[in-house]
Amino acid sequence: MQEVDLKYHPYLQSRGIPLEVAKEFGIGVSAGRLLIPIHSTYGLLASYVERRLDDSEPRYKFSGDFHKNGYLYNYHRAKAAKAKAIVLVEGFFQCIRIWQAGYKSVVALMGSTMSERQENLLLRYWKFVFVAMDGDEPGRKAQAEIITRLTKREIDVIPLELPSRAQVDHYTPEQVREAITKGKF
């Protein structure tokens, strides 16, 4: 892939992702698509997801026969942070926004459903899970289901409620820090 100066790409700029953060996460642009690498629990490259830069569907396309339900996006970085708590969100950009706010222990489901494998990955290293699904109907439903499932396990769950139709990546890093500190967006 040809290296691109991401700081001037309108889409990344509109999402509030500076060049240094795009480089940290290995995000690139090729053929009109954003390429986001997904790593294994050990930090090895497992796949790429393509994010269309226009409004056409499907917006996200995973490469090959990759099954997202076996992974948590950013897991290897979150594990390396060695924190007692983890923040769980739906998508890539929500994960990156929380990381930008200084919470390095953050992972994304890459959707609004949590597989049994993803649930087990959460239980490996953390004692507390902040759950911050989107404020839309699927996100609220997912949040309720995830909280129910996790509270049955030996882990403390702290829900972070988002206003209707809101997403974590709509907030500035400062607003994210304040919301996590107060326990509510």
CA dihedral 15, 102, 94, 165 (to 10 degrees): -90
- Across residues 172-176, what is the average pLDDT? 85
CATH architecture of 68-185: 3-Layer(aba) Sandwich (3.40)
Mean pLDDT on 22-32: 88
Residue 28 to residue 176: CA distance in whole angstroms: 25
**What's the mean per-residue pLDDT of the chain?**
89
Domain ranges within the chain, ordered by starting residue: 1-66, 68-185
Please work out, in degrees rounded to the nearest 5, the angle formed at the alpha carbon of residue 9 by the alpha carbons of 5 and 11.
Answer: 145
Rounded to two decimals, what is the model's pTM? 0.91
pLDDT recorded at residue 4: 46
Look-up: residue for tokens 């970085």?
77
When pLDDT is cut at 50, 70 and 90, the band that residue 168 belongs to is confident
Q: Do the domains 68-185 and 1-66 match in fold? A: no
- Which of 9-18, 36-45, 84-93, 100-109 bottoms out in mean pLDDT, i.e. has the lowest? 9-18
Look at domain 1-66 and name its CATH class.
alpha beta
